[in-house]
Structure 1
Amino acid sequence: MTFTPEAFSLTGKPAFITGAGSGIGRSVALGFAACGAAVACFDRDAEAARTTAGLIGAAGGRSIAITGDVTSAHSLAEAVRTAVEAIGPIRTAVNCAGVAGATAAEDMSAEDFRRVVDINLTGVFLSAQAEARVMLAHGGGSVVNISSMSGTIANRGLLQAHYNASKAGVTHLTRSLATEWADRGVRVNSISPGYTLTPMNKRPEVAGRLQAYADDTPLGRIAEVEEMVGPAVFLASDAASFVTGSDLIVDGGYVCW
Structure 2
Amino acid sequence: MSKDFTLNGLFSVKDLHVLITGAGTGIGLYMAKGFAANGAVVHIVGRRQNKLEEAKETLLQINPDAQVHFHAADISDRAAVTELVSSLKLLDVLINCAGIVLPDPPCTHLSPLPDLQAALLASPEDTWSRTFSVNVESVFFLSVSVLHLLAKSAHGGRIINVSSIGSTMSDPNTHQPAYQASKAAVNHLTRLLASKFREQGIRVNAISPGYFPSQMQDASNPKSMLARAKELVPVKRGGEEEDAAGTAIYLASRAGSYVNGELIVLGGGREWA
Residue among 138, 159, 170 paired with 1:143: 159
Deviation, 1:196, is 1.3
Deviation, 1:190, is 0.3
Residue among 4, 26, 29 paired with 2:29: 26
Q: Secondary structure at the match of 1:123?
A: helix
The corresponding residue for 2:249 is: 233
1:64 lines up with 2:66 in the alignment: no
The TM-score normalised by the length of structure 1 is 0.91
Moved more, 30-39 or 126-135: 126-135
- Which residues in structure 2 correspond to 1:81-120 (within 5 Å)? 81-84=86-89, 89-103=90-104, 104-120=119-135
Deviation, 1:213, is 4.4
Q: What is the alpha-carbon distance in structure 1 between the residues aligned to residue 124 and residue 256 of structure 2?
A: 41
The TM-score normalised by the length of structure 2 is 0.86
Moved more, 149-158 or 32-41: 149-158
Contact 1:24–1:226 (CA under 8 A) maintained in structure 2: no
**C-alpha distance after superposition, 1:190-229 (max 9, x if no partner):** 000011111211299x751334443121111221233211
Q: Secondary structure at the match of 2:23?
A: coil
Moved more, 102-111 or 67-76: 102-111
Moved more, 131-140 or 25-34: 131-140
The total of aligned residue pairs comes to: 252
**C-alpha distance after superposition, 1:208-251 (max 9, x if no partner):** 13344431211112212332110000011121111110100000
Moved more, 103-112 or 238-247: 103-112
Matched AA of 1:195: Y
1:157 lines up with 2:173 in the alignment: yes
C-alpha change, 1:207 and 1:14, in structure 2 (3 Å) is farther
C-alpha change, 1:162 and 1:55, in structure 2 (3 Å) is same
Moved more, 184-193 or 218-227: 218-227
5+ residue gaps in structure 2?
105-118
Q: Secondary structure at the match of 1:188?
A: strand
Q: What is the alpha-carbon distance in structure 1 between the residues aligned to residue 262 and residue 189 of structure 2?
A: 11
Residue among 5, 8, 12 paired with 1:9: 12
Q: What is the alpha-carbon distance in structure 1 between the residues aligned to residue 130 and residue 20 of structure 2?
A: 21
Q: What is the alpha-carbon distance in structure 2 between the residues aligned to residue 226 and residue 100 of structure 1?
A: 24
Deviation, 1:142, is 0.6
C-alpha change, 1:47 and 1:209, in structure 2 (3 Å) is closer
Q: Secondary structure at the match of 2:161?
A: strand
Contact 1:201–1:207 (CA under 8 A) maintained in structure 2: no
Contact 2:217–2:224 (CA under 8 A) maintained in structure 1: no
Runs (4+) off by over 6 Å = none
The corresponding residue for 1:51 is: 54
1:182 lines up with 2:189 in the alignment: no
Q: What is the alpha-carbon distance in structure 1 between the residues aligned to residue 206 and residue 91 of structure 2?
A: 18
Q: Calculate percent identity across the aligned residue pairs.
A: 31
Q: What is the alpha-carbon distance in structure 2 between the residues aligned to residue 9 and residue 202 of structure 1?
A: 33
Deviation, 1:138, is 4.2
**C-alpha distance after superposition, 1:111-151 (max 9, x if no partner):** 11111111111121122222323112445311101001111
Contact 2:56–2:69 (CA under 8 A) maintained in structure 1: yes
TM-align CA RMSD: 1.9
1:252 lines up with 2:268 in the alignment: yes
1:132 lines up with 2:169 in the alignment: no
Contact 1:17–1:94 (CA under 8 A) maintained in structure 2: yes
Q: What is the alpha-carbon distance in structure 1 between the residues aligned to residue 95 and residue 200 of structure 2?
A: 19
Matched AA of 2:12: S
Q: What is the alpha-carbon distance in structure 1 between the residues aligned to residue 205 and residue 46 of structure 2?
A: 21
Q: What is the alpha-carbon distance in structure 2 between the residues aligned to residue 50 and residue 77 of structure 1?
A: 22
